[in-house]
Structure 1
Amino acid sequence: MEQTSVAAATKATTTLTGIVARPQKINEIDTKKTPRVKTKLRELNRVLGGGIVPGSLVLIGGDPGIGKSTLLLQVSGQLSLENHPVLYISGEESANQIKMRAQRIAVSGDNFYIYPETNMDSIRATIDNLKPEYVVIDSVQTMQASGVESAIGSVAQIRAVTAQLMQIAKGENITVFVVGHVTKGGTIAGPKILEHMVDTVLYFEGDSHHTYRILRSVKNRFGSTNELGIFEMHDTGLTEVANPSEMFLEERLKDATGSAVVVSLEGTRPILVEVQALITPTVFGNAQRTASGLDRNRVSLIMAVLEKRANLLLQNQDAYLQAAGGVKLNEPAIDLALAISIASSYRDKGTRPTDAFIGELGLTGEVRRVSRIEQRVAEAAKLGFQRVFIPKNNLQHWTPPTNIEVVGVATINEALKLALS
């Protein structure tokens, strides 16, 4: 009987610390903080929730050539220099190719191993032999699990490979980074279960024609979701952008119409972004509505509110809106800045360059309360803005700072009157 229980225990699921799982009373569970390993990239630490959690499975997706491999190559080099053995497994490049790119971005280390392989049995044997603390799989769509009778990159293969990688991460307390290709729609290729199985899902976004890259967390079992990290791509690799608000505002014209600055919250970080609008009379029968970095349906809703509540005749106007800098904004607090930028372009009247706008817009024209207003206003003041428009209800139970003028508005008409006067 004892031998049977021992055999069953050896096949049981293990925890992040490698201990065999067993039923425990909730009052007896030790809730000590999960240890984290800090990298030298503070932006990556922020997105991961404070650092790398040992034994976690992290999926990084992004367009081809955006810099996923470069990011992981830099992190691998940094970890290996701190006496953390790293195994970089590539199914797309040879060892010479990886070495050439590593030399270009000055990555090296005695504990850094390169292994061009796609067979999961060979990879598992190598991991058992080297016993690394970190494993990078580049990419999951090129790996092949034995016993699965389907082509490499198929749904069945990706599911089987991910299951084996999860066993490696949880069973041997090895942190595994997995690179995933994305489809034309921008989602990670393969079954949706791939994202459900991993602990953290990060998206590396940006435009190949520009140098800035955004690392966004969309799932994180160990930290906040929708966290944001900003990097800049150079010939020597990726560097951090310490103050992204300055980056998003650096090319803003002072006297331009159709421009408004919003203080948006990405995870725990407030960032200032310029929202731009161009309103022109339509030439065709149906007016066009185009949005870049913004929700097109939200733009249409805001324009309908402006037409009904603020008496702006927009039904025969083409509207082109964008969030400057390539960032994507999708929270309700950007509504007021959207409305101000649209009205500014329509009336051909600019806003003050030192004004910022925060607030959600209701269908009846009211400006509704938003969360974490103190952090948002403090960020605007830090960047040198002199006046910030916020929902009037956010002024309750809060003392505004003295280094910036805080204007509480209750309706969109009140905000338009003060901002575009």
Structure 2
Amino acid sequence: MAKKQRSIHTCSECGYASPKWLGRCPDCGSWGTLQESAAPTAARGGSAATAALTGAVPRGLTPTAPAQPITKIDASTATSVPSGIRELDRVLGRGVVPGSVVLMAGEPGVGKSTLLLEVASKWAAQERTALYVTAEESAGQVRARAERTGALHDTLYLAAESNLDVIFGHVEQLKPSLIIIDSVQTMHAAGVEGVAGGVAQSRAVTAALTTLAKTTGIPILLVGHVTKDGNVAGPRVLEHLVDVVLNFEGDRQTSLRMLRGIKNRFGATDEVGCFEQTAEGIREVPDPSGLFLSHRGRTPDGSAVTVAMDGVRPLLAEVQALTVDPVAKNPRRVVTGLDVNRVPMVLAVLQARAGQRTNDKDAYLATVGGMKIQETATDLAVALATWSSLHERPLPPKTVVIGEVGLAGELRRVPNLTRRLSEAARLGYEHAVVPAGEKLSVEGMRVSQCATLAEAITAVDGRRS
């Protein structure tokens, strides 16, 4: 009688394995994520770990390469190579590291494929061979997009394949110096059970591509899908296998795109790259503050400029407020681009500690340009923009306001204040209203340090032109 084949249940979120099905994963706590698959068969003779458990003397395999002293290892093999796109190099560290595997995730339609096609084009423009593999589009579709964005080069090769073995064949023939896979969830590895994008297939494909990158020194860029929660689709083990995980995000209603590092073995994860989606493709924005403030002329009522930190990058942003008589009995608070829980608190402090009546007005507050700000350093901009709208008095021109507002009406210091002011001074701003208590000296800028919100209102009201 044939022996029944054993099965194993693997969590699609974290990779936890169980011999029986469970409704909830004991490791990550997700519900309904354990999927059944055939259990791997043990190799003949057993492994060293099996021998140790049975009490036998473990016997290892002969290494393919002997271990070397760390001082004898060539460090030049891990030197970054510029990709040709400075904003991407900023997030990666200094460029693409040979033999690295980079996973770029993002929502459908945000521009992941367009950006990586631009990377392949810049790479090929330097007389280096790049291989772009697509399994979601036909070769003609990618060719049309490359023609529209000006990404046609003789050393940029395109393959519409989903079979991993065929892709390895292309690599052996072309010997490329860069490989782009679009996307990892659509690749299929022969001999592995499951459908493309499943737990077993995604793990096997990523592991095989990682081994290819490490053994050949070819950097590989992978496109990854995201779930409704914004996490990378597939098992969480994918993020552990790759070297770098990037998140490409943006709102479909705006052209702004932000590239953030989630994991980076070769650099910091607090760098942010800025891009703009145009009809000609993805365009990098080296000065995003100018993008958010390019429309400004005369300072309008209900407007305040602040400096927010996105990672380690200071960005000037405009906060606008509009206060009108309420239509209904209960005044409304409509917030776009700001913390919906923080704004009503700032308006309450503005009334209780600075004597500005806001409880009988509808208040609409928003950022300009699709920028999203969650940090508390923009509290003062929210308060002063609302004050400006209430009294129909514009804030002084070329003025930035930065600070956190406390419940007692005090202004609290914020991190990286000198760096924020230096960025504002670079863009031509001459006056800043900031919290008191820190020694500041920024060339070309007059700084008004205020201890309370009421003092900040006096500082901007007395300098109106």
1:37–1:52: 8 Å Cα contact kept in structure 2? yes
Q: CA deviation at 1:34?
A: 4.2
What pairs up with 1:326-337 in 2 under 5 angstroms? 326-337=370-381
Question: In the alignment, what sits opposite 2:121?
Answer: 77
The superposition leaves residues 266-306 of structure 1 with CA deviations (integer Å, 9 ceiling, x where unpaired) of 23322211112233344445544433322222323333433
Question: In the alignment, what sits opposite 1:406?
Answer: 447
Structure 1 position 280 matched with structure 2 position 321: no
Question: In the alignment, what sits opposite 2:396?
Answer: 352
Instruction: Choose from 392, 415, 419 the match for 2:456.
Output: 415
Structure 1 position 39 matched with structure 2 position 83: yes
Question: In the alignment, what sits opposite 1:48?
Answer: 92
Structure showing greater Rg: 2
Decide which moves more: 327-336 or 277-286. 277-286
Structure 1 position 99 matched with structure 2 position 140: no
Q: Which amino acid aligns with 1:413?
A: A
The superposition leaves residues 209-240 of structure 1 with CA deviations (integer Å, 9 ceiling, x where unpaired) of 54443333333332232422223333333333
1:58–1:202: 8 Å Cα contact kept in structure 2? yes
Structure 1 position 134 matched with structure 2 position 178: yes
% identical aligned pairs? 45
Structure 1 position 381 matched with structure 2 position 425: yes
Question: In the alignment, what sits opposite 2:292?
Answer: 248
The superposition leaves residues 321-355 of structure 1 with CA deviations (integer Å, 9 ceiling, x where unpaired) of 22211122233322222222233233433212311
Q: CA deviation at 1:182?
A: 3.1
Decide which moves more: 316-325 or 268-277. 316-325
Q: TM-score, normalised by structure 1?
A: 0.85
SS of equivalent residue, structure 2 residue 369: helix
Q: 2:367 & 2:187 partners in 1: Cα distance?
A: 38
Q: 2:385 & 2:241 partners in 1: Cα distance?
A: 42
1:389–1:409: 8 Å Cα contact kept in structure 2? yes
Instruction: Choose from 170, 174, 187 the match for 2:218.
Output: 174
SS of equivalent residue, structure 1 residue 38: coil
What pairs up with 1:294-313 in 2 under 5 angstroms? 294-313=338-357
2:185–2:225: 8 Å Cα contact kept in structure 1? yes
Q: CA deviation at 1:72?
A: 0.9
Structure 1 position 89 matched with structure 2 position 133: yes
Q: CA deviation at 1:406?
A: 1.0
The superposition leaves residues 359-412 of structure 1 with CA deviations (integer Å, 9 ceiling, x where unpaired) of 2233333222222222221221121112011221222xx4x1341111111222
Q: Which amino acid aligns with 1:122?
A: V
Query: Measured at CA, do residues 6 and 230 of structure 1 come closer, stay the same or move farther in structure 2, by a change above 3 Å?
Result: same
Q: 1:187 & 1:282 partners in 2: Cα distance?
A: 40
1:344–1:420: 8 Å Cα contact kept in structure 2? no
Q: CA deviation at 1:155?
A: 4.1
Q: 2:397 & 2:237 partners in 1: Cα distance?
A: 47
Query: Measured at CA, do residues 50 and 288 of structure 1 come closer, stay the same or move farther in structure 2, by a change above 3 Å?
Result: farther
Q: 1:282 & 1:94 partners in 2: Cα distance?
A: 55
Query: Measured at CA, do residues 349 and 111 of structure 1 come closer, stay the same or move farther in structure 2, by a change above 3 Å?
Result: same
2:77–2:98: 8 Å Cα contact kept in structure 1? no
Q: 1:219 & 1:275 partners in 2: Cα distance?
A: 31
Query: Measured at CA, do residues 147 and 415 of structure 1 come closer, stay the same or move farther in structure 2, by a change above 3 Å?
Result: farther
Q: Which amino acid aligns with 2:442?
A: P
SS of equivalent residue, structure 1 residue 381: helix
1:373–1:394: 8 Å Cα contact kept in structure 2? no
Q: Which runs of 5+ in 1 are unaligned?
A: 11-18
Instruction: Choose from 213, 228, 232 the match for 2:257.
Output: 213
- Aligned-residue RMSD, C-alpha: 3.0
Q: CA deviation at 1:81?
A: 2.8
Q: Which runs of 5+ in 2 are unaligned?
A: 1-58
Q: Which amino acid aligns with 1:72?
A: L
Q: CA deviation at 1:91?
A: 0.8
Structure 1 position 111 matched with structure 2 position 155: yes
Q: 1:296 & 1:35 partners in 2: Cα distance?
A: 44
Q: CA deviation at 1:23?
A: 9.6
Query: Measured at CA, do residues 133 and 324 of structure 1 come closer, stay the same or move farther in structure 2, by a change above 3 Å?
Result: same
Decide which moves more: 280-289 or 385-394. 280-289
Q: 1:46 & 1:52 partners in 2: Cα distance?
A: 10
Q: How many residues get paired?
A: 405
Q: 1:196 & 1:293 partners in 2: Cα distance?
A: 32
Query: Measured at CA, do residues 418 and 191 of structure 1 come closer, stay the same or move farther in structure 2, by a change above 3 Å?
Result: farther
SS of equivalent residue, structure 1 residue 135: strand
Q: CA deviation at 1:132?
A: 2.4
Query: Measured at CA, do residues 166 and 322 of structure 1 come closer, stay the same or move farther in structure 2, by a change above 3 Å?
Result: farther
Q: Which amino acid aligns with 1:329?
A: I
Q: CA deviation at 1:48?
A: 1.8
The superposition leaves residues 83-116 of structure 1 with CA deviations (integer Å, 9 ceiling, x where unpaired) of 4322111011122221222222222333322111
Query: Measured at CA, do residues 313 and 171 of structure 1 come closer, stay the same or move farther in structure 2, by a change above 3 Å?
Result: farther
Question: In the alignment, what sits opposite 1:15?
Answer: none
Q: 1:257 & 1:140 partners in 2: Cα distance?
A: 50
Query: Measured at CA, do residues 386 and 159 of structure 1 come closer, stay the same or move farther in structure 2, by a change above 3 Å?
Result: same
RCO comparison, higher one (Cα < 8 Å, 6+) = 1
Q: 2:228 & 2:207 partners in 1: Cα distance?
A: 25
Structure 1 position 323 matched with structure 2 position 367: yes
Q: CA deviation at 1:37?
A: 1.0
Q: 2:255 & 2:122 partners in 1: Cα distance?
A: 22
Q: Which amino acid aligns with 1:415?
A: A
Query: Measured at CA, do residues 402 and 117 of structure 1 come closer, stay the same or move farther in structure 2, by a change above 3 Å?
Result: closer
Q: TM-score, normalised by structure 2?
A: 0.77
1:224–1:267: 8 Å Cα contact kept in structure 2? no
